Amino acid sequence: MNTPSEKSTLMFATLVSMFSTQAMMAMGKLANPATGRVDRNLQGAQFMIDMLEVVDERTQGNLTSDEARMLSAALSDLRLNYVAEMQRDANPASPAADTVPPELDADGTPDNVA
């Protein structure tokens, strides 16, 4: 495998980050920066996760170890959050339903995120 250019490495990280951020916004975990609102659209979140799964499937054997680790971590985090959101809807008595969403900073990120 050829060593990827710095530009393609940064672009790949941006792609993964873009889909991850969109999925987190669709799960209601982040505010939409355009509107400042926190909205939930679990179907949209699932679509973004599916898109990253396609990237993972289609790039098998073509990623650096750092890129593969980053993509795997993003998918794991998104899947866990998605399941928690689905459980919250299915079972209002679940621990996920009892979790109060954190307050948002001025930039729309939860104030408990560094």
**74 is in which domain, residue-wise?**
6-98
For 24-67, the pLDDT digits (tens) are 999 999 999 999 999 999 999 999 999 999 999 999 999 999 99
Helix H, strand E, coil C: the string for the chain is CCCCCHHHHHHHHHHHHHHHHHHHHHCCCCCCCCCCCCCCCHHHHHHHHHHHHHHHHHCCCCCCHHHHHHHHHHHHHHHHHHHHHHHHHHCCCCHHHHCCCCCECCCCCECCCC
For the chain, the domain total comes to 1
Domain membership flag for residue 105: no
Domain membership flag for residue 73: yes
Stated pTM of the model: 0.77
Domain membership flag for residue 88: yes
For 1-20, the pLDDT digits (tens) are 578 899 999 999 999 999 99
Domain membership flag for residue 110: no
Instruction: Give the pLDDT confidence score for residue 114 in this predicted structure.
Output: 46
